[in-house]
Amino acid sequence: MGLATGSSPLATYAELVRRYEGEEISFAAVQVFLLDEYVGLEAGDPQSYRAFIEREFISRIDLPKENLHSPDVADAGLETSGDRYESTIAAVGGIDLQLLGIGTDGHIGFNEPSSSLGSRTRLKTLTAASRADNARFFDNNLDQVPRHVVTQGVGTILDAGHLVLTATGPDKAGPVARAIEGPLTAMVPASALQLHPHATVVLDDAAASKLELADYYRETFAGKPSWQSV
């Protein structure tokens, strides 16, 4: 599995924990890859994405500790971190299920607008919009928000077997509409989902409010043949 951090997937993680506790599923044989990690935080910083995912999800399931992978953001070797992460993903046979959120600027992972649609895991600089959006995790102090991340690339994300993007709230309505119904463009990295043969987008009404064909999507979903899953 590939996992996003941030607010959007929290309900999904809560549901997976519920199913684990109900003994419906186990993560004992799963390998988990984070989408991205901040550069420049102290090791173990509670706001690192590794700490976030351990707190919100991994500590509550039976995933073996060594099966949690995140980009290496140590200063030494930063230039090869992306390639090493790609090799680790490849060594386990790739990512079957990738959970995603979307930034207000249209990013997936931290592939900011103008990221190559063929990009692989690498160092990226966050946009001002992304840093402002994430300041809530840093006591609303913009100065504390890191400027750099190592993120899976758009090409890396597109290699996963199934993409599931979750978005809620009115702030996501614009980027969601641009990603789903706008042109395929590096200016909206999430529009790359249009290239993927198996992408599922889960929205609340507010996040879906700017979709031109929302009624058609509801009709399609309601009329899905029973053999066709999401």
Question: What CA–CA distance (Å, rounded) separates 2 from 163?
Answer: 9
Please identify, using beta-carbon distances, which residue of 31 and 37 lies nearer to ligand F6R: 37
User: Is position 4 an interface residue for ligand F6R (rule: CB under 6 A)?
Assistant: yes
User: Is position 101 an interface residue for ligand F6R (rule: CB under 6 A)?
Assistant: yes
- 59: helix, coil or strand? helix
End-to-end alpha carbon distance in the chain: 17
User: Is position 36 an interface residue for ligand F6R (rule: CB under 6 A)?
Assistant: yes
> By the 8 A CB rule, do 161 and 198 touch?
yes
Q: Is 130 exposed, middle or buried (0-12, 13-18, 19+ CB in 10 A)?
A: buried
User: Is 112 noted as a catalytic residue in this protein?
Assistant: yes
Size of site (CB under 6 A) for ligand F6R? 15
Which residue sits closest to ligand F6R, CB atoms considered? 101
Please identify, using beta-carbon distances, which residue of 101 and 146 lies nearer to ligand F6R: 101
Question: What CA–CA distance (Å, rounded) separates 88 from 79?
Answer: 16
The one catalytic residue among 37, 86, 105, 133: 105
Please identify, using beta-carbon distances, which residue of 7 and 116 lies nearer to ligand F6R: 7
Binders of ligand F6R among 106-125, rule CB under 6 A?
107-110
User: Is 105 noted as a catalytic residue in this protein?
Assistant: yes
The DSSP H or E segment spanning 15 is helix 10-21
Please identify, using beta-carbon distances, which residue of 107 and 120 lies nearer to ligand F6R: 107
Burial 32-50 (b: 16+ CB within 10 A, else e): bbbbbbbbebeeeeebbbb
Residue 29 Cβ, how far from ligand F6R at the closest point, in Å?
24
Residues tagged active-site: 36, 105, 107, 112
Q: List contacts with ligand F6R (CB under 6 A).
A: 4-8, 35-36, 49, 101-103, 107-110
